[in-house]
Amino acid sequence: MSDEPFLSRLQAMRAASVPAGARHGELRLAPSLSLARGRVHEVMGDSADVFALIMAGAATGPVFWTGFSRDVESLAPTGVQVFLDPARLVLTIGLNRGETLWAAEQALRARSAACVVIELQDGPDLRESRRLQIAAEEGGALGLILVRGRAFTSAAETRWQCDAGAGGGWVWTSTKSKRGTPGAWRVSWKGRHHAPDLVPLAATASA
């Protein structure tokens, strides 16, 4: 990844300006389910991509998605457009973990995006997550870290387990929350022009 084209792209998008209401505050999908902007959140499970796409679709403004080539290149436009307009999506590919984290940090800090999605094999450690958290606080974007492998102790605001539900849809379980009580929801989707249907399930124990 070349620094100059990437940073120039962020600066150009900053000129378009993300609406003030799309930075900081909360992104609320239902009375009982919201994510704090200006924070990073970890997402695990076989349906972590779906969680990220639904959240990104609910945000207002550009969406940065960064990861290794095998992860980012798997985002087919036909699949993405079910959840959000692909024209809102800016994809960046890191050659290694360090590049991916650097790109995510720059995007979170730049105030150019409403949502920044970071794909990692193993979750960030405490130092890495603190850097991402500080960048998110500065820029006000919603940061989503998709963890494919192991998760570690981190500075993330919340942690989610997202899996396909029996009989269709998905089950989203909040296993860690700094601001509230973890819980679980059954989620179904009718298309990007409709809000997701969320049915609260029994609260789960915190991780």
So what's the pLDDT on residue 97? 94
In a domain, residue 20? The reply is no
Q: What is the token pair recorded at 22?
A: 């799309």
Give the range of the structural domain holding residue 112, as residue numbers without chain letter: 3-14+36-159
In a domain, residue 184? The reply is no
In a domain, residue 169? The reply is no
Q: What is the pLDDT along the chain (207 residues), one digit of tens a residue?
A: 555 555 555 555 554 555 555 556 899 888 888 999 999 999 999 999 999 999 999 998 999 999 987 667 777 777 888 899 989 999 888 889 999 999 999 999 988 899 999 999 999 999 999 999 999 999 999 999 999 999 999 999 999 999 999 888 999 999 999 877 788 999 998 877 777 899 998 644 444
- DSSP letter at 165 equals P
CATH number at residue 95: 3.40.50.300
Q: Which amino acid is at 120?
A: L
In a domain, residue 166? The reply is no
In a domain, residue 185? The reply is no
In a domain, residue 147? The reply is yes
Q: How far apart are the first and last CA of the chain?
A: 36
In a domain, residue 96? The reply is yes
> Closest Cα partner for 161 from 142, 180, 175, 182?
175
Domains identified in the chain, total number: 1
Pairing assessment for the beta strands 184-188 and 170-177 based on DSSP bridges? antiparallel
Cα angle vertex 169, ends 163, 172, to 5°? 40
So what's the pLDDT on residue 167? 85
Cβ partners under 8 Å of residue 180, min gap 6: none
In a domain, residue 104? The reply is yes
